[in-house]
Amino acid sequence: MRMIWAFMLAATTPACLATASAHSESEHAEHDDDDDHDPLPEVAAERVARVHLLNKEDAGEPTEVLGIIDVHTKSGEQDRALQELRVRAAALDADAVVGVEFHHGEHGGEATHLSGTAVRYRDLIGGRHYEVIGDLDVRAPMGHERQALHELQARARDMSADLVIGVHFEHGEGGDGPLRVTGKAIQFR
């Protein structure tokens, strides 16, 4: 489970919600129906190098969720997968990827898999008082991270929330289980 500070609702651009994945047909069949297999974006090397990869659940300071990143490469290509995770985060203008999970293929031919939540260091609450108006829980098929974040945002909007805090991302197990994104919808007082 990953804890992220906040997820902006108002005036969020599609880039703030983007999730990207890379795969080949032989690597992960569970992603075949996913539309998030964008080519690797071009990002300046200096920007990519500034992205921190953290296996901790949070960055130690307030952050804004920009997207969930899910990368698959051939088994044994963990360095390439880590670089791709950084590139995709940098393309979202992220400062870090938190809750990085690494799974390498346990059996010959299984893909190396990395996932994490791209965040920007930013305090969206800014000391304001708020009230929690509801819990949000979205489940989606593996490979549909972008849609899960959009659904979380839509449900919060339906509640007239100003922000979603305490966002958690759980990656589905073994490619068979659904992914889960949860958070708390709040309104400022």
At 50-100, the pLDDT tens digits run 999 998 877 889 999 999 998 888 877 888 889 999 999 999 999 999 988
Domain boundary among 72, 100, 121: 121
Distance (Å, whole) CA 100 – CA 52:
10
Residue 11: what pLDDT? 37
Write the DSSP assignment of 24-85 as a string of letters.
-TTT-GGGTT-S--PPPPP--HHHHHT-EE--SSS-SS-EEEEEEEEEEE-TT-HHHHHHHH
Going edge to edge, which strands form the sheet with 163-170?
Answer: 52-53, 96-103, 112-121, 63-73, 2-8, 163-170, 179-188, 130-140
What domain range is 63 assigned to? 13-121
Contact predicate 9/153, CB 8 Å: yes
Residue 124: what pLDDT? 93
- Specify whether 94 is located in the same domain as 169: no
Per residue in 137-170, pLDDT tens? Answer: 999 998 888 899 999 999 999 999 999 998 888 8
Per residue in 5-28, pLDDT tens? Answer: 466 654 333 333 322 222 222 333
Give the total number of structural domains in the chain. Answer: 2
Structural domain contains residue 2: no
Domain boundary among 78, 101, 121: 121
Residue 138: what pLDDT? 96
- Specify whether 78 is located in the same domain as 168: no
- Specify whether 48 is located in the same domain as 85: yes
